[in-house]
Chain A
Amino acid sequence: MGRYVVRRLLQAIPVLLGTTFLIFALVYALPGDPIQALAGDRAVDPIFRATMREMFHLDDPLIVQYGYYVQGIFTGDFGMTFRGVPVSTIFEGKFQVTLNLALMALVIEAIVGVGLGLIAALRRGKAADTAILAFTLLLVSVPTLVSGFVLQLVLGVQLKTSTGIDFFPVAGTSEGWRSYLLPGLVLAGTSIAYLTRLTRTSLMETLRADYVRTAIAKGMPRRRVLGRHALRNSLIPLVTYLGADLGALMSGAVITETIFNLNGIGRQLFDSVYLSENSVVVGIVTVLVLIFIAANLIVDLLYAVLDPRIRYE
């Protein structure tokens, strides 16, 4: 088990190098002159330009620039922005905000998605099933922008003015975990829909399995057949989805963070691409890839816990 984890972490290194190089090359290929971007519409002093290009190795070949970058990363240095701020300073607190948001979304998704999926599977073909399936269609077709503003208005503002319940903050992170409830729900939207359908399919498939028939033949009460014999098997594929979704939620949080005024990594990424702050963009992607790799490793380890047929040596 320990050796397996070490091997997986070693395998992660080439993945990390590959993805960061790709994003590095993409950023490098973006149109526009980052030094010009510093000055806006004004002309840039040629000497300043030359110094900056020298300092940031902008005239070296791509691969050499990348080499400098990787060297920095391995010493924990994400580099400087063109505006002279260390990238790590820019990151401060922001990954935490986005991670909190994504984890909240993941929890909401797991509870609502698995819950609805189980109900739909157990009520297959009945009104509840149809209603849940229709609801998932609604979830995937409403854009984040719309669901975000509607929830802000209904749960955040109208609930407060009509009943006095002030439970759902609509902006910022000043209210602790509650700050993440509404944005988490909005961010989880489409994932809830997918997870609901996945859970429904998975449980329906498990219920047709021979070992479920065996459990019934053993005279086990229905609750036990469902809760013990079927449930654990049907959860196995869901874990993969949830694990992979953490990375997707983190990198897809831009709009949600903007609507709810959360100072997270999504908005930073958007701003940095806009300002051609290459070091910030690559830094963010690097950390996201790391999180993605870690989430996948956890999923694989969880798999072995849920399914004894899988063994890691």
Chain B
Amino acid sequence: MKNPSVDTHLLPADSGTIGTEPLLAVDNLHVEFTTRQGVVRAVNGVSYALNAGETLAVLGESGSGKSVTAQAIMGILDMPPARVPKGEIRFRGTDLLKLSENQRSQIRGQQIAMIFQDALSALNPVFTVGWQIAEMFRVHKGMSKKDSYTKAIELMDRVRIPAARQRVNDYPHQFSGGMRQRIMIAMSIALDPDLLIADEPTTALDVTVQAQIMELLAELQRDSNMGLILITHDLGVVADVADKIAVMYGGRIVENAPVHDIYRNPAHPYTKGLLESIPRVDMKGQELYAIKGLPPNLLDMPTGCAFHPRCPFRQDNCVTDVPALHAISGTRSSACHYWREVLDGTAG
């Protein structure tokens, strides 16, 4: 299965810098799943954007639609049950949703790559790690077996796996959790993608290893100037590496902002709640807990603002009117009727 058009980038390589078009722009994306219980609207009009060399952290409780959005960008949703009824995903100005499956698989792995939370289950147990990394070069670049393994060893070195040459023929189960995630990373950066999506890459690891992996990702990103979408619920991680943050709630973006603005002064009550949750070392890996109440049921979403049952600043119109994503400045937006009051600290 050699790829005939190995070096043909479908999209003009420099269009990311032309005008104001960012590397990636997700625009009013909707994703729904048809299930026995009904239609689950997992993503309800998500918009975020990212430039080359930037890191966007996507933050939110479990079930808020972070992974589904990422999978829609990758084009790895199972359709059916998934459906994308509305929205655009523009990569270098081209709407990925309008491309054929064949064109999309040219972009996957080569221009947009992804790493997953649990590297043990995300790596194939019956093939060696070398085989799995080398496959990128063999299939996409038509490289020989020998050359592709040489490349695989280079990559394993680059992500700092000790004794890469000796370990290239080991299987995933023979590595520690941190090393396995490094192998996932090596695989994902094999073809120098322009965009890397990391879906909770450190959640399954212990704290010291988490920091090492984050450091590695940040370093690789600096070296290659790729865009990085970092899905996480760990606020501590976000502050150090992210340029901007998109906060998700119930399948929507509730706040979009540069990282420092958010830390200084959140413009949405949910973000405020997240920041006020005290990170505790002994709760590491668990979901944020300081906000009272439960995440919304996607099959039975609250009317008006989805956050209203849990919002300490709720007013009467919050129950009936869905708040739009108000632009606060050129780089900032909030989906709260009372974002001004939240910003000023006069809400509630």
A residues within 8 Å of B by Cβ? Answer: 209-211, 213-224, 229, 232-233, 306-309
The interface residues of chain A lying within 8 Å CB-to-CB of B128 are 308
Nearest Cβ on chain A to B341's Cβ, whole angstroms: 42
The interface residues of chain B lying within 8 Å CB-to-CB of A217 are 74, 76, 108-109, 113-114
Closest 7 CB pairs of A and B: A219-B109, A219-B108, A210-B121, A211-B124, A218-B109, A308-B171, A210-B122
Asked if A213 and B122 sit within 8 Å, CB to CB, the answer is: yes
Residue of B nearest to A235 (CB): B126
Bound CA span A232–B121, Å: 15
Nearest Cβ on chain B to A189's Cβ, whole angstroms: 32
Asked if B108 and A216 sit within 8 Å, CB to CB, the answer is: yes
Residue count of chain B within 8 Å CB distance of chain A: 29
Query: Given A210-B121, A213-B76, A308-B171 in contact, is the A220-B126 Cβ separation under 8 Å?
Result: no
The interface residues of chain B lying within 8 Å CB-to-CB of A307 are 125-126
**B281 interface hit (Cβ, 8 Å):** no
Asked if B139 and A220 sit within 8 Å, CB to CB, the answer is: yes
Nearest Cβ on chain A to B89's Cβ, whole angstroms: 15
Asked if B108 and A210 sit within 8 Å, CB to CB, the answer is: no
Asked if B107 and A219 sit within 8 Å, CB to CB, the answer is: yes
The interface residues of chain A lying within 8 Å CB-to-CB of B173 are 308-309
B114-128 CB mask vs A (1 if < 8 Å, else 0) is 101010011111101
Bound CA span A48–B118, Å: 78
The interface residues of chain A lying within 8 Å CB-to-CB of B109 are 217-220
The interface residues of chain A lying within 8 Å CB-to-CB of B184 are 214
Asked if B125 and A218 sit within 8 Å, CB to CB, the answer is: no
**B32 interface hit (Cβ, 8 Å):** no
Asked if B118 and A210 sit within 8 Å, CB to CB, the answer is: yes
Q: Restricting to B55-112, which residues have a CB under 8 Å from any CB of A?
A: 74, 76, 105-110
The interface residues of chain B lying within 8 Å CB-to-CB of A215 are 124
The interface residues of chain A lying within 8 Å CB-to-CB of B165 are none
Report 19 cross-chain contacts, Cβ distance below 8 Å, ordered by A residue: A210-B116, A211-B122, A216-B105, A217-B76, A217-B108, A217-B113, A217-B114, A218-B135, A218-B187, A219-B105, A219-B106, A219-B108, A219-B109, A219-B140, A220-B139, A221-B1, A224-B1, A229-B124, A233-B126
Nearest Cβ on chain B to A138's Cβ, whole angstroms: 29
Bound CA span A19–B13, Å: 72
6 A-B pairs besides A219-B107, A309-B171 with CB distance below 8 A are A209-B121, A211-B123, A211-B125, A214-B122, A219-B139, A221-B105
Asked if A233 and B124 sit within 8 Å, CB to CB, the answer is: yes
Asked if B124 and A214 sit within 8 Å, CB to CB, the answer is: yes
**B242 interface hit (Cβ, 8 Å):** no
Query: Given A209-B121, A219-B105, A232-B126 in contact, is the A214-B116 Cβ separation under 8 Å?
Result: yes
Most chain A CB within a 10 A radius of its CB, from B114, B116, B125, B171: B125
Bound CA span A210–B1, Å: 22
The interface residues of chain B lying within 8 Å CB-to-CB of A306 are 126
The interface residues of chain A lying within 8 Å CB-to-CB of B107 are 219
Asked if A219 and B110 sit within 8 Å, CB to CB, the answer is: yes
Bound CA span A220–B187, Å: 13
Bound CA span A224–B135, Å: 11
The interface residues of chain B lying within 8 Å CB-to-CB of A233 are 124-126
Bound CA span A213–B70, Å: 13
**B305 interface hit (Cβ, 8 Å):** no
Most chain B CB within a 10 A radius of its CB, from A210, A218, A224, A308: A218
Nearest Cβ on chain B to A312's Cβ, whole angstroms: 15
Bound CA span A224–B139, Å: 9
Residue of B nearest to A208 (CB): B78
The interface residues of chain A lying within 8 Å CB-to-CB of B318 are none
**B136 interface hit (Cβ, 8 Å):** yes
The interface residues of chain B lying within 8 Å CB-to-CB of A219 are 105-110, 139-140
Residue of A nearest to B184 (CB): A214
Nearest Cβ on chain B to A124's Cβ, whole angstroms: 11
Residue of B nearest to A309 (CB): B173
Asked if A221 and B139 sit within 8 Å, CB to CB, the answer is: yes
